Every structure is written in structure tokens, then in C-alpha cells.
Structure 1
């Protein structure tokens, strides 16, 4: 072949490789070696009035594939509104987690855009929008309406004749219309000089201190977001006007945070704040200082190596002399400028208010603090610093990692002042003052559910005003603003419970039922915030409807208040310093809380271990039937076990026993998950597992995800067939098998079985095992021993269906409650009908008629027969409705379920999970 044709041949081979090589990769690699992606895919929506100060939005990133690098960017119209703090370039470990912080950018404005996660493996996107506050968002409609009116008038002028009368009629109608209300949204977030929080004594004292204490003096006004620091500083500034010898200026450093040196913008602010910007001498002095600052920065930037110093000590001495002389020169110019400025205003003391320092980047915060110490430490200057402590501490730690933050700040701030906590009385008065008449009935709930933070209260009430107006416009039937307030408080204060409430809008009604039926001092396992709101509901909790779905629909799309605004999220607010920390961090991995919850979950499931028989299994369709112990199953090689069998064969009992054995080991932590808790909408298996654990064990994502990422968990997934469709079940099984093959994580999956899923498990390397129950002779011997222990002849038992004798679940129920043996009649009985009649006859619940409990049991059996399932959750809305229809409510429901368990009809498979002792018993009760 001629050499000139070689490039063409290589190009053809490259194209062929590009087409066919991807399909030659193993399927598991294609499925699991995915690009890094955002942990949460839901759009991020931020009100514009939150884009400022110390606001931080933490974004989680997961890497389900091998180690790689990635970059986070903000694209679209919000590119200048939000920015990534620190290095946007990440290094992601294989299967690792990273966190980046979004912070306000240089030019806040409303708009939409995307967060981009760019890596060699691909790009992931997450929608982000910055929305205007309600009034500004609708201002465009007002302007558009005005433009339309002007256009109409112009058109009217062109049709002078006949149109003139119509125009006049229209104007008269417009004149007769009532003026729109101007107090719809009066609770602006702007600071005020009026004292509405009973803090005038503090403002007066600080003003007197600034005017009379001996300078130099820096007064730090510290307080968290929204506590009223700026309003306090403005009130102090107003009082300073009463001291004739004091001049004052206001400096917003975050407006100048991109300047090379904070000295010059601060001096410009002093000169313009005193109204002296046109004074020729001061203008010239500013020009000289600008020149000196430029020279100082240039001189300090010169780089001299150690070799240069060794060659010429003169060069080293010369450069250091230049730096020292420039500092001395600058100091003299600054002294002259400030003295001349005060002299021009006939004042002797300058008081500078520096607000929102915490909104600056970390390096600018430290630079300004050092500027105060180096250049403004003078006998005629007093400074007020309004700042939040957490970002200030984080900035100092970043710059001086080895120096204690407290020691550093003590050198800068001579008088620290912590903003006083809003008293209970002041908080209640503040809420009442902000609420208009139509919202007053929600006031008590706000006092229960909000933190005593002025900005928090205003922001929440503004959202409530908006949602109340929308509810009025929709004409909701039996509308109650207190219910709306409660749902909003729950949404913003306890997102986990709100998720449950959105899925089951009857939960508030169930809390009411539980409170009405609970014994005195009986603890209730509900969200503390929801429980507090229901207990303190104005007018009595009987006003709460059984279903709040109209309010859920109303609230679903409303503006979201910062979660730390609510009482239930105070723990999050306490972690603000951690959120403010710079760089990437991963939460600490602690398995103990999850292991403890799993232990509680399976402690009562499946019965006592000594009463259980080892199951009879077959490891393939053609294999022999063998009896195995849980220890033998755990000792088998492989990354996964697919367990299937008929209802009542003991799959779930075996899954619980395997979980118990794994809990005794120290190298792994088992997680037992029912399919009812499994989230299938997440695109990544690790995220689906994370959300399933969160839902089943009531833990936070921050706690759970590191555990999932550690890949030290063993997952026991029970009843795969309970997913919504066979296709979902098959896809999940494929994901499990591929993920296990790639990572070595072990899975145990139980299923009712089906040829398609059995073939999937075999094809993907999961070991397949069919549970056949227990050997019939073993089951019969177990019953004979039970009867012999009670001195009852076995002949009285009569003939039992083999399905009952081979069911480990049913046998464990009989062994756990052997009182049925004493009730056997003297003659042989048809066991199943007799056992069902005896069980229903013994259903006794305090304060509930037995007929109601029996009816509920039969309705549950019918429900299970229709759903082709032997299990159910007591938290399921349909199950609760069955009990409610039978007149069993609140705390009577767990009592009724406990009676059914005691009667031997059900057994507890988890905290809220119940199984019929056997499908045959369920079917008999359903007749």
C-alpha cells in the first residue's frame, strides 16, 4: 500500500472504532460509569432579596464512576448574580462526593440559567432561577398596563369624532374605580431608623460610647442574618447627629470588594460623605494618596529570589527601604486628609459606619480589617463594624490558619457588641404589628413556628400575604388562613414531614385523631413542629380538616423561605459556620445511628429466632432441594442473591434473619428496605438508595449519603414485586446487579418470582435461589412439639393443609402465641376456619367495639386480596381510610393492629409494616 494512503486508512479505522467500540463495552460499565452529576436534580429557585449578605447555597455533587476532574459554572442570565465560591475546579474521587458553595455575585438581578457540571465524561445541568420579590415581579404588569393605556389614548385622538365619547366614558369609569391598596406588601426588608424592637437603650449607649470614648476605637456590632444590625447602626447614626463635635459617614465595603486596596474607596466615601468632594485641597490629596497606593502595591509585588539576595544585599535593603518609606508616606497623607476633612466641617471626631462586611469575599474582609488597624488607628476616628460572626471567623481562619480567631479579632475590635435576642414579648408584639386584620388568626401559629428574627418574620408574613391573596382569588371552599400558615410553616420548617404531608394530605387530621385518643402523657411519634402547630391551633384543633390537599396545591409553587427561618431548623442555623467554611468538605461517616435504627426495625420482625426453622431452598430451577441456614447463605461467594418464592414461603422471614446475622458483624452494616420506601424516579442507583433510607429510617441526606458512598452497606431489598410495574422491577434488578458487579457491594433481593426477572438475575451474575418454605415433615414435627409441651394429643389438631405446614411465617406465629392450643376443642377440627373464628373472637380493643375491629380486619383482608399482597403499611392512606370507615381513629389504630398481632392473624414485619400470617388465612377472612 502506498504510504500516502495510510492517513486515509487510519481515519476509516477511527470512525469504525468510534461506532463499534462503545457497544463492545460491558453493559455494566455503560450503566454505572456515568458522568458526575448534581445530587439534587430539582430546580433551584432563589428570591432576589436573598441574593446578598452571607447567603450560601450548598450544592452536592456525586461521582458514580472512576476518579475524574470537573468544573462547576453558572450559565445564563444569572451568571453575574450567583458565583461559585473558591475554586470551581474539582477533583472527584471514584464514587466520591463533593460540595461547592454558591454565593451572591457582583451584580444581583433576576433571571434564569443553569448550573453546569462539566467533566471529561459529560455535562450535567441543573436549572436555577432568581426571582423578583412579589411587588417588583408584578411591576412590569403595571408598567405594561400604563403603556397600553397611553396607546389607547393616542388611538383615541386619531378617532376624534365618534371615539371621543367612548374615550370620555372610559376615563369616567377609570376615575370611579377604587384606588388599588398601597399596603399589600408593606413589610420591606429595608433597614429603618425607627425602633420597633425596644432596642433604643442599646443604640443610645453605643452612640454615647462612640462620641465620648478615647479613640482609636473599633466597635463590632455582631449578629446573625436578619437580627437588625443595619437598623441598629442607622439608629446610632441618627443619634450621633446630636453630638456637635462628631461627623459621620456610611461605607458599604461590598460595593467596592473588587478594588485592589480598600483604603482608597474608604477615603473617597469619607470625603463625599462629608460633602467635600469639590474641595480642591482634598481632591489633590486623594490624588496623591492614589499615587502612593499604586507605588506601594507595585513595590510590594516585586519578587526577589534568595539567590538574588545572596548576590546583592544592597538590592534587598533597597526594596525593603522603599516599602517602609511608602508606608510612612501613605500614613502621613492619610493623617493630613482626615484632619483637613474634619477641619473643613468644624468637627473633631470622625465616626465611620461599615456595614455588611460579611457580604465581601474572605480576602476582602481580612484586607479591610487590616486597613483599619494599619492606616486608621488614629486619635480622631471611631469605627462601627456591622457583621455576622460566622463568615468573619471563616475569613480569618482561611487567612491565618494557625492563629486563634479570637486573638486576632481582639486586636482589631476593642468593643464587641452582640445583637440582643428578641424577647418573647417583643417578638409577639412585632408579629401582631405586621399582621393585618385578615391574617390575625394565624398570628399564634407564627409565634409558635418562627424563630424570633425580625427579617425572618417579615419575609414569612410577606409570603403568607401573597398566598392568602391567591387563595382568596381561587375561592377555596371553607378557606382558613391558619391552615395555610400551618402548611407553610411545615414546608419551610420540616421538609421531611412536608414531603410526607404532600404525599398523604391526611396526616394533620391523623395527628388530631392521635391527640384526641392518646392516653395522658403518652408520647406521639410525629414531627415536633407539626405536633406543636396542631396542639396550638387557634380555636382548637378540631378546626383542622381531615384533608389539606387544597392547601398543599396552593403552597406547592409558592416562594420558599430560607429553611433556617423556622424553629424546627434551628439546628441548621447552628451549623452556619460549617456552611460558611471555604473549600470542599464531606460529612463525617458514622454508621452507628443507621445500625441502631436497623436493629430496632428488625428486632420484632419474623418472630423469635429459636422458633424459626431453616428454609428449604433450591439454588436453580434444576438444582436439588436443600435446607440452608442464614450463616451458610452469608458465606457463599458473589455480590448478590436473588431470592424468590410463592407467598407464604418465607422470603421476608429469611431476609429479616439475614439482616439480623449481618448486624452482629463489624465489617458491614445491613440495611433492610421494603419496596414501599424505594424511590424509583432518581436517575442514579446510589441516589435512589439514599432517598429510600431517608424515607424508611427518618434520617437526613447529609447523614445517609456518605454511608452509601462508603460502600460498606449490605442492602436487603424485600418484596421487589411490590414496585408499580414489572418493568420497574426488572430495571431495578439490572441496576442492582451491575452496580454490585462494579463496586463489590452486596445485595439480597426478595421477589415473588417471574421467568423474566429470574433470567435477568442469572444473566447479570446474581445467584438465584427459590425459597420453598420449610420441609413439611419439619413443620409437622414443630407443631407436634408445641402440642406436646401443652400436653395436648396431636390427633385433636386434625388435618392441616401442607401450605400451612411449610410456611415458616405461619409456624412462627403459632409458636410465638401458643395460647390457641389451650382453646382446641375436644374433637378434631377443621383447623383454618376454627383458627380464624377464634382469632376474630379475641379481638378486644379498649374503647372500641369488637365488631368494628373485626370489620376492619376483614376489610384489610379484602384489600390485600385485591392487591395480591399479604403485607401492608399502617402509614398507607388507603389502609388508614379503611380503619376510619370502620370508626377506628387516631391511637386506636395501632391498638387495633396490636390486637390483630396478639390474635395471631398478623405479624409485624417492621415499625409500620404488617403481614398476614398466611395467604390462606387472609383469603378466608376476606370471604
Structure 2
């Protein structure tokens, strides 16, 4: 079979080659693997030396390409011929994959690299066949047997044990509320049940009543209550319950529906009913067979008579089916002494889309009768999606209107009804959390029931663990956040003091100001503040909730995503991508221009390239040094971020129509939870530059970008090695140009020492140049530079120089005598900051500087819990914190280097502020 597929692919490639210039003119895509299925090879085959043949086709113009093996199996396999191939226009070729130096199992990719783009094919090296064939099934069997024995033992122990569950309380079930539909009315819907039953009994058939509602709103319970009313008040109506979900793979839904009708009405033993049912089965089979055999176009041309006979036979079978269906339903009603059949159809939205439309059409075609009423309990969105999937973009609502004569939307619970229902579910132990649950839970009965069950379980565990200062309301708050706001819950897991932060923000907000937090978190914290108090730290509750059952998702089919999957991305024409690149270049240029400012006022940076002596360097020379990879190293304030932004802007200005475009991204913007560098950058482009994800993925995968990545030093140390390795893999795989900024690292750093990356250490600017610039600024205000005693090297920092030359208020306050500039400037700036914050700012700056020195950090985040504690000790809380940080920045002490990340504008300032003479 594989030989046949390869042969067919090569024949197709030959045909493409015959098309020649037509393919090239059409702008076809680059070379790709003919077969995209994962390629599997066993260790036995590697050991035997048998090569593996892989076909490559090239529908576009002639091109040279390389084939590489990436991933864990890079040393287990090798590509013959050094992996370099030449592909003719519209041609095809075969490559040979053989055993590498180290044979082992694992996964990886075959990567095809050409100027026109990249192609990938997954490759897997598996253990020997005998191991897969015998040991893996045996292991699975042993696991199943041991699991069954463990379950039996626990079941038996549970049955035999009659001790108390927790402490001395009597044994009782943990989950007190069943998730099954309820026949009794607990939601004040009995009036609806009575009226719908009256409608089913008295309306003129044919009639389909649609009971529409989202998952968990009580559709099934309402239908059960309607059925109970029919049973009690309308004895002349026969009623049956049909669940199509277990029958969705039986092809035609008519026959299983009829079998359910016969079984529920207890008519299966009546011979006339069974005979009619057999006849209907035969007719349905004949109808399906006749319509599926059909005639093709050639048959119609040869024999119009044969075509007419086939269509006549189909029409005849349909007529017979309709007659027998009428007979069966009539016989069933006569046998039961009823005048009308009411059929309840539930959970249709759980079926596959084609089965949904098949049953809807069966109701219209075969059960549109004067003695049948149907109830259809279903969520509307899956129905609309199924109709659109089959019939395209025609109005799906109009289609449903033809099927459903009476649409009924499930009523929304009022606030009083919701509270009454919630109150009925609460046990005494969790009742103190009822007001919080009323705030945070959606008005969905099933969601409420499942949440209460989880809360009961976790409350029992918390009491058994004897959590200190335990409050079930706090536990409920953490569970509500987990289920209602997953992103905020992730933040709370990393910083368990966030609820206290929100409380402080609420307390310090001005009148009419709403703190910038998620509404759910604001509502929960607002309630806790006024009623119970907000704990400083919820870590014990977070640890408890980690073991909680995951939130239940709606049953039924997953909603179809409105966005494309990654397997569908990157299929854009070159013209479209050129337009996207043009838009992206403009947005990148605007961002880096904000960082650079007026470039004519900037001094040439002093840079040490590799091991050469440091010297001022021009942008053009630095661009020439940047061949594949470039790493800019430097301490905070030396100007490496501004230099990276200048290089980005210069590349944009010099880019030709077919050149790749540089993108400036901070490492903090990359989502390292994604699988690889390709997805990191794709999502970052979407978030930072508002590029549609399909276009972003196409730009990344086709090699249209140059990467300028700022702030590797801001990455958490545990993630650094993974990120660096992924960068090196991507650069080796694609040859992309990558620039990274990082603080000065010790020797043997894997990135800075990699041969593909030139190392450039940014040392600031020449002190003679910066001194002359400051001299001019001072002279314009009648001050001589000699009045300032500055340590050597102070003015090498371009950032500190920018502060001194742009914020000139300090010059007016200089004393007439000569001063030690760093201590004087630090004291002056603290006084300026205190004017907006108050005297505590001096102690805060001292503690903050000491914290950075002790932790050996150069930057701090205003989101860091320890930094927040420093501000709290200085009596600055909540929304006062960003105001204090703004005052420090305006006073010329700190600068923002990334969102919510700051550093002191000069290391000497940091050293002075951390000293004992600066504390109170």
C-alpha cells in the first residue's frame, strides 16, 4: 500500500513537471513532503540497516533545499547525502533516512527548508515490535486487573465499616444532591409544565414543541414534569421517551424511534405490530439501498429508461414507508386505547451534526401526522451549527421554524427563585457561604448543584485537616474564582496575597473610581471586606482546592471553534503576506520610535564586540556584525534596550520589498506555556501587534521575520535554560536572524558562547561625550560643571544622562558650594518624591534598594508580593502604590523598563539608597 501511495505521488509530481511554466506562473507553494502522516520506524529496522524512503514533491519553481532531523531523534537518524537536494520545477525526488550514531526510541521532525518556506513531517522511532506487541498489552491488562481488585476491596471495606465519617458525626453521603433530572418541581416551573401538557393534549397536530435552553437550565426536568402531568390529567394521550444519543450510529433515526414507541407502549408481543415493524425495516433498507446504488452520468446518457426506473422505485418505496408508518401508529393507539401519541425527544444536541439534521428531517417527512405531538428538548446553538454544517450559510432559523411549530425558551430564574433554590441545597456546615454563592454563581441549576457538591466535599476535607482560622466563605470564594475566572485564578496561585491587594485598592480608590480588576474578583472581595474580612494570604485554601474535582463542562458536543487550527494556518499567498508585512512594519516602527525618541540627540554607544577592545560603534557597523545571532549584554542603564530598538528601526528603514521584517518583542510577552518558539512568537504578534493569528503563524513559519527579543534577564531562572535551548534550536533549524538583550552573564553561558551568536557588551557612552553634553546643559543655566563632584564613570550611563539633561529642575536647587553629586542628588530626588507621597517614601526607597541588593536583582516588579509588603510597611497600600512609583519616576530615581518593571537609573544611586545612612 505504501509503495502504491509513493508511486501515485511520484506520478502526480511528474504531471506537475509537465505543466512547467504554468505552475511557476501560478505562484505555487514550495516543496513539501508527499505524505504528511507521521513516519514511524522501529529500532529493529534501524538495527537491520534497512533504509527508509521518503518522497518529496515540488509543485513550484526549481529550488535547492535541505532536509534536517530535529528533536530527540536527531542523533538516532540521519539523512543520506548531507541532506541537500535539488528539486526541479514540478519535480519530485526521494530521500533516504538511515540509522544515526545512537539508536534509541523517541520523537522528532523531518524538516524541509527552502527559500519558499518550511515543511515538516513528524517522525517517531518506536521500540522493537515484539515489545509493543506483547509487553504493552500485558502491562495494560495488569493495570486493569489491579485497578478492579482495588475497587472491589475498597467497596467491600466501605460496606463493612460503620464508623463515623469525620470526628463523631454520623456516617452520611458526601454528595447530597443528585445530578439526575428531577421529576418534582424545585424551580417554580409547575405552571409551565401544566400549560405545556395542555398544549400537547389540545393543540391540532402535527405539532413539534421545541423546549430550548442551555446546558443545565432544567430542560429534561421540565419535560419529565410535563410527562407526569400527561399521565395524571390526560389519560387519552399515550406518551413515550426517546433519547436519540445511544442510537446515533444506527443510520436512519426512524427505526430506533419506532422500536422505542413499541417497547414503551408494551406492544412488542403483538403480532400485527411486529409484522408492520418488520415491513417498515425492509422498506427502509430497500430505500437506502436503492438511493445509494443510483446511476452515474454515463449510465443516464446510455439509458434514460434505467434512470427513470430507479427514480420510480425510490418514489414507490417512500410511498410504502409512509403508509406503513401511518398503519403502525394507528395500530399502537388503538391497542392502547389512546387518541394521541406524545413523544419526548431529549439530548438531541449531544448527537453528531448529521444525526441531528437526520432526525429533524425525519420528524418533518415521516411523523408529520394528525395524531402525533413531539417535544424536542435541546440547546439551540448545536441545532443551528448542525444545519449550517449541512446546508451552508442559508438562514438556519428559518429552517428550524419549518420543523418546530411552537418554540418555548426555558425561563430564567429570578433572583428570588435562584436564592430559594440555592438555599434548598445548602447544608448547615456551608450555609455561612450562601451570600457569597448568591453573588458568584450563575443562575444555572445544574451548575449550582455541582458547585455545592464540590464545596461540601472540600469543606469536609478542610475540617478534617483542621485548617487554622478556617472560614468556609473564603473556601467558597477561592472555588468561585477558580470556576469563574481561570486567568485570575492562575495569578492567585502564584501570588496568594492578591485578594488583600484588591481589598487595599478598593479602600484607597477615590470616589467613583473602580479598581482595574475582574468584576467577579471585585464583587467577591467587596463582600468579604464588609461582611467577614479579607485574609492576608489564601495559600492554605489554594492548596486545598488543587485537589478539588475539576469544574464540569457542558455535556454534548464541543462547540466548533470560530478560528482556524494551526494545521490550517500559513496557507496565504505571497501578495497577501506582503500586505501583512507592510502593516506589521509600520506598527513595529511606531513602537520602537517611542523607545528611541529623537535619534539625532543620542550619543554613539560604546560596545565591546567579542574580545576586542571597547569603542564607539555606528549602527551600520553593528548591523554588519549581526549575521545570524547577536546578543547585546549590559547592566541596567547602559542603553542596550534603546540600542536594540535603534537597530530594529534601522532594519525597517533599509528593508527591501522581499526582505524579512524585524519585530521587537519583550521576553515577558512570550507565552512559554506553548509548545515551541514558533507558537511563542505567533501568539505574541497577535497580542502585541494585533496581527490575526493565521497571518502571524504564516509569517513565522515561512521565515519572513527577524527577531529582536528584549529582556532575557527578566525571565525566571527556572525557565531560562528551556528558553535558550528553544532559541538555539529555532536558529539552527531556520537560520533566522535573532537579537537578544541580556544582562552581563558569567563565562560558559550557552547563548553568549554559541558560535551562531556574536557577543556585544554595551558599556554606555564615552564619558568625554556625555560630560561635554552635560556641561552645555549646565552652562545654559549659568552653572559650572566643576560644582559637581562625580565618581569616575558616572556619566557613562546614557539613561542617567538622559534624566539629568531632560529633568533640569535639580539644577535650580544646586547649592553655591561644590557638592558630592550622588548623595546630594539622591536626597534631593527623595524630597521631590516625598512631596507627592509623604515622608514614608524615604524608608520605602531604602527597603526597596536593600531588597534588590540582597536578592542580587537589578529590576523590581510592582506586582511582586515582597515589593508590595515593602510599600505596606511604609503605609502605602492599594492604588497608592502606583502613585508612589510614579512619584519616584518623576523625581528621576527609577525608570520603567517593561510594563510594571522598574530599575534605579544608576547603580551608584541604588548603592547609596541601600546604605544605612539613608534609612530612618
TM over 0.5: yes
- Within a 5 Å distance, the mapping from 1:255-654 to structure 2 comes to 255-401=246-392, 403-537=394-528, 539-540=530-531, 543-562=533-552, 576=559, 578=561, 612-622=602-612, 625-629=615-619, 638-654=627-643
Cα offset, 1:815, TM superposition: 2.3
Q: CA, structure 1 residues 278+699, in 2 after alignment: closer, same or farther (shift >3 Å)?
A: farther
Q: CA, structure 1 residues 178+140, in 2 after alignment: closer, same or farther (shift >3 Å)?
A: farther
2:665 counterpart of 1:672: yes
Query: Counterparts of 1:331 and 1:456 in 2: how far apart (Å)?
Result: 43
Q: What is the CA deviation profile of residues 545-588 of structure 1, one whole-angstrom value per residue up to 9, with x for unaligned ones?
A: 111100110111211214789xxxxxxx9994647999976699
Q: CA, structure 1 residues 265+671, in 2 after alignment: closer, same or farther (shift >3 Å)?
A: same
1:898 corresponds in structure 2 to 886
Q: What is the CA deviation profile of residues 410-449 of structure 1, one whole-angstrom value per residue up to 9, with x for unaligned ones?
A: 2222222222222233223222222222222322222222
TM-score, with normalisation over the residues of structure 2?
Answer: 0.76
Cα offset, 1:12, TM superposition: 11
Name which of 787, 791, 798 aligns with 1:796.
Answer: 787
1:873 corresponds in structure 2 to 861
Q: C-alpha root-mean-square deviation of aligned residues, in Å?
A: 4.5
2:145 corresponds in structure 1 to none
Q: Contact 1:870–1:918 at 8 Å: present in 2 too? A: no
Q: Contact 1:606–1:809 at 8 Å: present in 2 too? A: no
1:57 corresponds in structure 2 to none
Query: Counterparts of 2:679 and 2:459 in 1: how far apart (Å)?
Result: 36
2:76 counterpart of 1:30: no
Name which of 833, 841, 844 aligns with 1:843.
Answer: 833
Q: CA, structure 1 residues 622+810, in 2 after alignment: closer, same or farther (shift >3 Å)?
A: same
Q: CA, structure 1 residues 699+232, in 2 after alignment: closer, same or farther (shift >3 Å)?
A: farther
SS in structure 1 of the partner of residue 528 of structure 2 = coil
Query: Counterparts of 1:123 and 1:187 in 2: how far apart (Å)?
Result: 48
Q: CA, structure 1 residues 281+581, in 2 after alignment: closer, same or farther (shift >3 Å)?
A: farther
SS in structure 1 of the partner of residue 329 of structure 2 = helix
Cα offset, 1:31, TM superposition: 4.8
Query: Counterparts of 1:575 and 1:610 in 2: how far apart (Å)?
Result: 57
Query: Counterparts of 2:265 and 2:714 in 1: how far apart (Å)?
Result: 75
Q: Contact 2:215–2:554 at 8 Å: present in 1 too? A: no
SS in structure 1 of the partner of residue 407 of structure 2 = strand
Query: Counterparts of 1:177 and 1:307 in 2: how far apart (Å)?
Result: 84
Name which of 196, 199, 204 aligns with 2:186.
Answer: 196
SS in structure 1 of the partner of residue 833 of structure 2 = coil
Q: Contact 2:787–2:819 at 8 Å: present in 1 too? A: yes
SS in structure 1 of the partner of residue 610 of structure 2 = coil
Name which of 705, 709, 720 aligns with 1:717.
Answer: 709
Q: Contact 2:666–2:711 at 8 Å: present in 1 too? A: no
Q: What is the CA deviation profile of residues 876-898 of structure 1, one whole-angstrom value per residue up to 9, with x for unaligned ones?
A: 12222222233332222222222
2:222 counterpart of 1:232: yes
Q: CA, structure 1 residues 736+582, in 2 after alignment: closer, same or farther (shift >3 Å)?
A: closer
2:157 counterpart of 1:145: yes
Cα offset, 1:280, TM superposition: 2.1
Cα offset, 1:383, TM superposition: 0.9
1:918 corresponds in structure 2 to 906
Cα offset, 1:336, TM superposition: 0.7
Point out where structure 1 has 5 or more consecutive residues left out of the alignment: 1-10, 19-24, 36-61, 69-92, 97-117, 125-135, 150-170, 566-572
Query: Counterparts of 2:268 and 2:564 in 1: how far apart (Å)?
Result: 40
Q: What is the CA deviation profile of residues 262-300 of structure 1, one whole-angstrom value per residue up to 9, with x for unaligned ones?
A: 111111111122222222221221122222222222222
Query: Counterparts of 1:189 and 1:897 in 2: how far apart (Å)?
Result: 52
2:842 counterpart of 1:857: no
Q: Contact 1:220–1:415 at 8 Å: present in 2 too? A: yes
- Within a 5 Å distance, the mapping from 1:33-48 to structure 2 comes to none
Q: Contact 2:71–2:109 at 8 Å: present in 1 too? A: no
Query: Counterparts of 2:609 and 2:845 in 1: how far apart (Å)?
Result: 37
Point out where structure 2 has 5 or more consecutive residues left out of the alignment: 1-44, 53-64, 76-106, 128-147, 916-920
Q: Contact 2:163–2:171 at 8 Å: present in 1 too? A: no
Q: CA, structure 1 residues 456+495, in 2 after alignment: closer, same or farther (shift >3 Å)?
A: same
SS in structure 1 of the partner of residue 156 of structure 2 = helix
Query: Counterparts of 1:911 and 1:884 in 2: how far apart (Å)?
Result: 21
Q: Contact 2:248–2:355 at 8 Å: present in 1 too? A: yes
Q: CA, structure 1 residues 379+724, in 2 after alignment: closer, same or farther (shift >3 Å)?
A: closer
Cα offset, 1:925, TM superposition: 1.5
